[in-house]
């Protein structure tokens, strides 16, 4: 006789997927842009960058490695550090959620675009990324470990695909 699964242990397939630690994100983080400053960053500043991967790297570069605060040379002076920190953090988390929903071919394309945008030599950028794995420092602080690992895995695979001889991936 087969024992039915315990309904208390089954995940609710209708439940939203969580990418961040519970209770860390303010409720307004789920809104498109909860305030004017976040809207300005999300609709004016970030669209000047070619894709979400580039946006994520840019936003992570504005985060202080010691305090975790997001600081922007102009906006922090104009609007104050707490407001800018909150707005940049929300935008960073939104971009990260978008990347987590992206398919692997999108990661490959976005990494190619990022390399073109930096004007770096592809071989050098790929080798540096593989050695330093600096992309691991680009995830939002509140991201769940599983979400971070999914992002890291997608980047690592994209690096391998782009590092493979051209004939192996462009003509398949």
Q: Is residue 11 in a domain? A: no
**86 near 39, Cβ under 8 Å?**
no
pLDDT at 21: 60
CA atoms within 13 A on the CB side of 172: 8
Token pair, residue 73, equals 């040379």
**32 near 41, Cβ under 8 Å?**
no
- pLDDT (tens digit, 9 = 90+) per residue, 18-41? 666 655 544 444 566 678 999 999
What parts of the chain have a pLDDT lower than 50?
7, 10-11, 13, 15, 25-29, 167, 169, 172
Q: Is residue 112 in a domain? A: yes
pLDDT at 17: 55
Distances from the Cα of 69 to the Cα of 10, 22, 87, 140, 147, angstroms = 38, 20, 11, 11, 21
CA atoms within 13 A on the CB side of 152: 16
Distances from the Cα of 142 to the Cα of 58, 90, 150, angstroms = 17, 11, 15
Q: Is residue 3 in a domain? A: no
* pTM of the predicted structure, to 2 decimals: 0.80
User: What is the distance between the alpha carbons of residues 48 and 115, in angstroms, rounded to a whole number?
Assistant: 16
Q: Is residue 116 in a domain? A: yes
Q: Is residue 171 in a domain? A: no
pLDDT at 30: 52
The count of structural domains within the chain is 1
Domain that holds residue 75: 34-166
pLDDT at 34: 74
pLDDT at 78: 94
Q: Is residue 21 in a domain? A: no
Q: Is residue 61 in a domain? A: yes
In DSSP terms, 20 is beta-bridged to 143
Q: Is residue 20 in a domain? A: no
């Amino acid at each position: 006789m087969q024992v039915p699964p315990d309904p208390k242990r089954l995940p609710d397939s209708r439940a939203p997927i969580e990418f961040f630690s519970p209770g860390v994100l303010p409720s307004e983080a789920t809104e498109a842009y909860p305030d004017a400053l976040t809207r300005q960053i999300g609709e004016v500043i970030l669209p000047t960058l070619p894709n979400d991967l580039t946006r994520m790297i840019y936003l992570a570069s504005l985060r202080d490695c010691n305090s975790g605060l997001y600081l922007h040379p102009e906006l922090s002076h104009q609007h104050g550090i707490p407001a800018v920190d909150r707005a940049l953090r929300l935008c960073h988390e939104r971009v990260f959620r978008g990347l987590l929903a992206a398919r692997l071919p999108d990661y490959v394309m976005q990494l190619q675009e990022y390399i073109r945008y930096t004007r770096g030599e592809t071989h050098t950028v790929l080798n540096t990324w593989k050695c330093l794995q600096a992309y691991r420092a680009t995830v939002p602080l509140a991201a769940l470990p599983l979400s971070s690992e999914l992002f890291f895995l997608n980047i690592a695979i994209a690096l391998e695909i782009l590092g493979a001889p051209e004939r192996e991936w462009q003509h398949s």
